Amino acid sequence: MTSRLGDDAATATSTLETMWLIRRFEEAVDDLFARGLMHGTMHLSIGQEASATGTCFALRDDDAITSTHRGHGHCIAKGADLERMMAELLAKETGYCRGRGGSMHIADVATGNLGANGIVAGGIPIAAGAALGYRMQGLDRVVVSFFGDGAANEGAFHEAVNLAAIWKLPVVFLCENNKYGMSFSTEKSFAIENISERALGYGIPGVTVDGNDVEVVHATVSEAVDRARSGGGPTLVEAVTYRWKGHSKSDKNLYRTKEEIAQWRERDPILRFEAVVLERGVLDQAAVEEIRARATADIRTAVRAANAAPTPAPTTFSKPSSRPPERQP
């Protein structure tokens, strides 16, 4: 039986701090983007901090994840460096992908993040494959594959889950059901009530949990990770949550109501965990406020440092030509 994230001060602090870092990081990104200081496109996971944090906190450092286009939270929760992440989003040479990948392709292989993905469901078969690879090398690592509700309707999801099931691979399929695939609601895109019901068709366990409760996510994923590590095969975990912001910058939010968004904002996973640890007396108000302040300061520092970093020079690129280019950077 795993202990709860909010039972002791040290764990509660790092859990809360991680969630605040994700929130503040994305608020900073939102702001930089709105002011035209960040280009490309961004997908924010504000409101979904508990599923990223609860899940990654159930993993060992040498366990791995595959992530999605909405992957800032996964990346931070798995232990990535904030400055290098911000540098990547600001298209800097010091970023995780040397400015070549941006938000949708961010990866920190050193902390076990095998990569965000611009292709919906693209990371799911890769997670199964990584789990296979680790097991074939005699490593007892587990891989968690994050994906959205929308991704569960791609062929890649079905093929990957089946492979993992028949080979009993050490993988956890973590569906962050935030209710919409872009504008298409789960009510319209599924004829089943819970996405976890899909597990039945592949002969693996499936469970739906409150994805805004970081402790519940953590406990559920911990169990699934234990089972995976001990040879029991994959589990499909559905964490029900909500994305507060639009899908991306072009989203006019015509497909959902303000009331619905407001309702979910009241179920803020961070404030909820704060309330829990305060009530349990694990942290006091001063400690909680200090954590918030520290997260804000850390993100400011990361933005400042990333802004000052050099941009990649197109020197490794010849002029467009018909000749074979040098090895791609």
Partner 1 sequence: MTTTYPSPDLTGTAPTATTDRVITYAEAVREALAEAMAADDRVFMLGEDIGVYGGAFGVTGDLYHRFGAERVRDTPISELGIVGAAVGAALAGMRPVVEIQFSDFTCQAMDQIVNQAAKIHFMLGGAAEVPMVLRAPLGSGTGAAAQHSQSLEAWFAHVPGLKVVMPATAEDAKGLLLSAIDDPNPVIVLEHKLLYRTSGPVPEGAGRIPLGKTAVRRRGRDVTIVATGVMVSRSLEAAEQLAADGIDVSVIDPRTLSPLDDAPILEDISRTGRALLVQEAPGHVGFMAEVASRVVESSAVYRLLAPVRRLSGLDIPIPYAPQLESAAVPQVDAIIDAARSLVKDS
Query: Is residue 75 within the footprint of partner 1 (CB under 8 A)?
Result: no
Give the other-Cβ count within 10 Å of 321's Cβ.
7
Query: Is residue 105 within the footprint of partner 1 (CB under 8 A)?
Result: yes
Which among 169, 161, 176, 74 has a CA at the least distance from the CA of 130? 169
Task: Report DSSP state, residue 176.
Answer: E
Could you say which of ligand TPP, partner 1, none residue 60 binds, taking C-beta under 5 to 8 angstroms by partner kind?
Answer: none
For 110, residues 6+ apart whose C-beta sits below 8 A from its C-beta are none
Measured CA to CA, the distance from residue 61 to residue 313 in angstroms comes to 34
- Shortest separation between residue 294's beta carbon and partner 1, angstroms: 30
- Shortest separation between residue 205's beta carbon and ligand TPP, angstroms: 22
- Shortest separation between residue 245's beta carbon and ligand TPP, angstroms: 11
| Parallel/antiparallel/unpaired status of strands 184-185 and 180-181 | antiparallel
- Residue 194: what residue type? N
Which among 285, 272, 219 has a CA at the least distance from the CA of 241? 272
Query: Is residue 151 within the footprint of partner 1 (CB under 8 A)?
Result: yes
Could you say which of ligand TPP, partner 1, none residue 162 binds, taking C-beta under 5 to 8 angstroms by partner kind?
Answer: none
Measured CA to CA, the distance from residue 192 to residue 196 in angstroms comes to 9
Could you say which of ligand TPP, partner 1, none residue 70 binds, taking C-beta under 5 to 8 angstroms by partner kind?
Answer: ligand TPP
Q: How many residues bind partner 1 (CB under 8 A)?
A: 50
Query: Is residue 53 within the footprint of partner 1 (CB under 8 A)?
Result: no
* Closer to ligand TPP by Cβ: residue 238 or 268: 238
Q: Where are the alpha helices (DSSP H) in the chain?
A: 9-34, 49-56, 72-77, 82-89, 123-136, 155-166, 186-189, 198-202, 214-229, 258-265, 269-280, 285-308
Stretch in the footprint of partner 1 (CB under 8 A) among 22-30, 138-146, 265-273, 318-326: 318-326
CA 185 remoteness from chain centre: 20
Could you say which of ligand TPP, partner 1, none residue 178 binds, taking C-beta under 5 to 8 angstroms by partner kind?
Answer: ligand TPP
- Give the sign of the dihedral formed by CA 152, CA 154, CA 160, CA 166: positive
The mark string for 236-255 relative to partner 1 (x by CB under 8 A, - otherwise) is --------------xxx-xx
- Shortest separation between residue 24's beta carbon and partner 1, angstroms: 23
* Closer to partner 1 by Cβ: residue 119 or 271: 119
- Shortest separation between residue 93's beta carbon and partner 1, angstroms: 8
- Chain residue at closest Cβ approach to ligand TPP: 148
CA 120 remoteness from chain centre: 13
- Contact residues toward partner 1 (CB under 8 A) are 39-41, 91-92, 97, 99-102, 104-105, 117-122, 150-151, 153-156, 181-184, 188-190, 250-252, 254-255, 311-314, 317-322, 324-325, 328-329
